[in-house]
Amino acid sequence: MLHTNLSVGENGHLYFANVDTVSLAEKYGTPLMLLDEDRIRARMRTYITAMEKHFGEGSKPLLASKALCFKGIYKIAADEGMCTDIVSPGELYTAKAGGFPMENAYFHGNNKTDVDIEFAIDSGIGYFIVDNREEFDKISSYSAEKGIKQKILVRLSPGIDPHTHAKISTGSVDSKFGTAIETGQAEEFIAYILNDKNTELCGYHCHVGSQIFESEPFCDAADIMMEFSAMIGKKYGFYAKTINLGGGFGVPYTEKDPKIDYEEKIAEVASHIKNASKKLGIDIPQILMEPGRSIVADSGMTLYTVGTVKSITGYKSYVSIDGGMPDNPRYALYNSEYTFLIANKANAEKDMTATIAGRCCESGDLLGENIPIQTPERGDILAVLVTGAYNYSMASNYNKLPRPPIVAIKGGEDRVVVRRETYEDLARLDV
């Protein structure tokens, strides 16, 4: 099986986190999102332990909220000792409502509004990751008004192409994110910030991209950031205490994807950074990372009920399910590949090739094409694996379809952590 939290029971059903998925589908209805809470916690601990061990004390991971955001995930993160990054006032609000300590939250985004900045400072946000001068000026003036010295990191673009999907690569110079090192604008910006009295510059941030399986792009980014830090240190006397390398380690979605050992990758980046600091003659900074996908993706699964099975003579077969692009827009957006199986026939051979279609009034509403699958019938349960990241958080109500509930499994016990939307919920904002 693709991941260790998957197995097939004697009844031929797919088990997830040691629970029969077919009985969960019966109990909660479909579409249904499942979360393996034990695995999420274990993955958080892997990052926390490996970062402290290899980068040194004080280095730590921040959960990238954008991958999966609901109140309960912040309780889990806080319990395990993770920090978090948030990119919007809505994520900030959810973290706060979930009881997350705001001093451990880092506020990202390329266009924070004045209202966002005031909300974050009033909420006691730990750090801003400053993208641009306009927002910096607002952070500074509002901090002065409130009589505080706001801690900040500055987002830089290191100019790296990590060979991932163009839409999820964000570290290149021509990007809406951050300030470019290559053009000299980053130096100018830092010099400007160092003259400010209302903020405390702690260091630099970069993010190269997502779904990366190798350590090289992170090592390359670290080199550029540390060279920049050394240069600023020599010229202006400011040596960054912190370097945040962003998110990005990959997760296998299908058997074709490489397997990845997160601790090993972290150790590789750490040994690279140690050498680089020696070469540059600067202290090893506190390293932060912002994993999202690699914390939650393989702890998630979505279950659907199969409806229509349509074979078009001379063409192909469509298997339609009771969800689709509203709960998982990733195939429509990025052609993302997934692994599918019929949960109540998990032992049977995958004897059919099908296009998996959603129920929206839109031809592009597909979850996959040329998918090997056990021949399904109406009423069967279709499982889509590895849907924990960027599925629920990107879900919409297109065609007025209610979003599925999220059921978390911990120690073999299941519980609802996000309830299913009702039709009333769908109309609740209409006046």
Amino acid found at 177: F
Say whether residue 290 binds ligand LLP (CB under 6 A).
yes
| Under rule CB under 6 A, residue 247 binds ligand LLP | yes
67 binds ligand LLP (CB under 6 A): yes
202: Cβ contacts below 8 Å, ≥ 6 apart: 127, 151, 152, 153, 240, 241, 242
Residue 174 has which token pair?
């021509």
Q: Cβ of residue 382: shortest distance to ligand LLP, in angstroms?
A: 20
CB of 86 to ligand LLP, least distance (A): 11
Rounded distance between C-alpha atoms, residue 294 and residue 277, angstroms: 27
Task: Give the dihedral sign, CA 134/135/137/141.
Answer: positive
Question: Of 265, 293, 345, 403, which one interacts with ligand LLP (CB under 6 A)?
Answer: 293
Q: Residue 207 CB, nearest distance to ligand LLP (Å)?
A: 4
Q: Does 65 bind ligand LLP (CB under 6 A)?
A: no
Looking at residues 86 to 125 of the shown chain, list those that interact with ligand LLP (rule: CB under 6 A): 108
**Region of 115-123, 277-285, 286-294, 302-310 interacting with ligand LLP (CB under 6 A):** 286-294
83 a catalytic residue: no
Distance, CA of 243 to CA of 233 (rounded, Å): 14
CA dihedral 75, 79, 81, 82 (to 10 degrees): -30
Nearer to ligand LLP, 28 or 392 (CB): 392
Confirm or reject binding of residue 294 to ligand LLP (CB under 6 A): yes
- Residue 425: CB partners within 8 Å, gap ≥ 6? 402
Could you say whether residue 128 binds ligand LLP (CB under 6 A)?
no
Residues 6+ apart with CB under 8 A from 73: 40, 63, 65, 98, 296
Name residues contacting ligand LLP, limited to 380-419 (CB under 6 A). 389-390
- Of 207-236, which residues contact ligand LLP (CB under 6 A)? 207, 210
What does the chain come to in residues?
431
Stretch that binds ligand LLP, among 23-31, 242-250, 348-356, 371-379 (CB under 6 A): 242-250
Residue 58 and residue 290 in contact, taking contact as beta carbons nearer than 8 Å: no
DSSP string, 25-41: HHHH-SSEEEEEHHHHH
CB of 349 to ligand LLP, least distance (A): 31
What is the C-alpha separation between 349 and 373, in angstroms, rounded? Answer: 8
By the 8 A CB rule, do 343 and 382 touch? Answer: yes
Q: Are 360 and 398 in contact (CB under 8 A)?
A: yes
> Residue 218 has which token pair?
């992170």
**How far apart are CB 109 and ligand LLP at their closest, in Å?**
9
Amino acid at 240: A
Interface region with ligand LLP, contact rule CB under 6 A, candidates 7-15, 19-27, 285-293, 343-351: 285-293
Q: Which is nearer to ligand LLP, 24 or 206 (CB)?
A: 206
292: contact with ligand LLP by CB under 6 A? yes
Q: According to the binding rule CB under 6 A, does residue 168 interact with ligand LLP?
A: yes
Q: Which is nearer to ligand LLP, 334 or 398 (CB)?
A: 334
Binding residues for ligand LLP, per CB under 6 A? 64, 66-67, 85, 108, 168, 170, 207, 210, 246-248, 290-294, 330, 334, 389-390
